[in-house]
């Protein structure tokens, strides 16, 4: 690895992959719940969605805080 920016980029890529996988799990659980005739979101889908949202926040932190303009890596 040549620098911290490259390393953080690789970590962001891993996080993006995890987010996609969590999306797949959440949508699969929702589809299965609908097929079973459930009218409420399954607990596992809610937990997976919260985990996904947490990873989105982590990714945003690694990218820099766009809201404040702080995009410096370190």
Claim: this prediction has a pTM higher than 0.75: yes
Higher pLDDT, 1 or 45: 45
Q: Establish if 17 belongs to a structural domain.
A: yes
Q: How many domains does the chain have?
A: 1
Rounded CA-CA distance 56/60 in Å is: 6
Name the more confident of 25 and 67: 25
Find the mean pLDDT for residues 31-41: 96
Q: What is residue 65's predicted lDDT score, i.e. its pLDDT?
A: 55
Q: What is the mean pLDDT of residues 8-32?
A: 96
1 CB contacts (<8 Å, ≥6 apart)?
7, 10
Q: Is residue 16 part of a domain?
A: yes
pLDDT per position as a tens digit, 43-64: 999 999 999 999 999 999 988 7
What does the pLDDT read at residue 73?
Answer: 44
Which of 64, 55, 65, 61 has the alpha carbon at shortest distance from 26?
Answer: 55
Cα end-to-end distance, the chain, whole Å: 16
Tell me the residue range of the domain where 43 lies.
Answer: 4-62
The Cα-based distances of 26 to 1, 19, 73 in angstroms read: 34, 10, 32
């Amino acid at each position: 690895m040549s620098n911290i920016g490259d390393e953080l980029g690789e970590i962001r890529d891993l996080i993006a992959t995890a987010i996609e996988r969590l999306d797949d799990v959440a949508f699969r659980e929702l589809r299965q719940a609908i097929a079973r005739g459930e009218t409420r979101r399954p607990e596992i889908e809610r937990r997976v969605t919260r985990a996904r949202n947490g990873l989105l926040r982590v990714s945003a932190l690694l990218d820099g805080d766009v809201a404040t303009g702080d995009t410096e890596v370190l």
